[in-house]
Structure 1
Amino acid sequence: MTKFEHTFTLDKAHFVECFEQSASLRQQGWKRYSKALILFALGFFISAANIEKLSGHLGYFFYVLGLVEVLSVRFARGWWVTRQMFSKAAGNEVTLTIDQQGVHSKSDFVDRQCLWSDVERLIKTAKGLILIEKNGAQHYLSKAVLSEQSYAYICQQLQPSSSVD
């Protein structure tokens, strides 16, 4: 029976690595700003429609929402990492168990099992692996946390469908 156990801490360096290594899975280019453009357009149309009592305030509300969306896209890394650092899981130790069933991560606040049969894709990155489940959930595993044997075992269980460098 093959079983690997690793422990690591959810710190800022880990969150930054998770964000950077999974960046290829997010929308690229101007598509990232589509929601902001829709909010700005909605604000413009409400203001231009000249609806009494609503046009001024409601139009400005959508402009501000559009601006917040632009900032969240522009500063996505800092925004995401900061949110993770404020979460109750930040700073806690995680025990990662890899066995014949799949990958199990357990901490004081999270107890998650990712079964091999639920994984649709495995993506190799420069610093780790991304497991994508059939339901769309994504799990990042850092090479810094894994031993060479556990890394090879995961790759053996799931043939990589792509590689991102």
Structure 2
Amino acid sequence: MGYRLSKVYTRTGDKGDTGLADGQRIGKDHPRIEAMGSVDELNSQLGVLLAELAGQGLDRFTALLGPIQHRLFDLGGELAIPGHHIIDAGDVSALEQLIDDYNAELEPLKNFILPGGSRCVAQAHLARSQCRRAERRYLSLARQDDVNPQAPIYLNRLSDLLFVVARCIAKAEGTPEVLWAPKPKPQ
């Protein structure tokens, strides 16, 4: 095993900067750190979803999402080492195939749906919305730094997959989807 963190606090970031894996120090509010933080939050949200799925008879979703947590950790590693690319077009294609496979099990959407119906469905939507934020933060970074062009595409597809997974979880649970009811027009 590689480097082990033996001390949790280092005091090196007490003045508002942090170290990247290549030794560079940048502000904790730098777009790179914002992107890293959003990817980390997404990974944590997936962890909560996986915990919610445990013991619910929804193991196929656990098997699907578990490996994605590892790719998100890889993406965080990419961000910690400027110029390093791990996520590739194959990762994007794999998500597209999963989206197609899972979406084939669903009825076509006839209305907008809202997050909710059950804790698992709501948590999948929360992860989806966090994924969209991670994508936005990554794109903000891409405006000023050279980054892996496949990573924001991966995040975009992942948010689509999480939407489809939320719908599939609802179907597997027998939970009706919460349909959007638009505000009635004044008469």
For normalisation by structure 2, the TM-score amounts to 0.25
Bigger strand share: 1
For normalisation by structure 1, the TM-score amounts to 0.28
- Structure of higher CA gyration radius: 1
Bigger helix share: 2
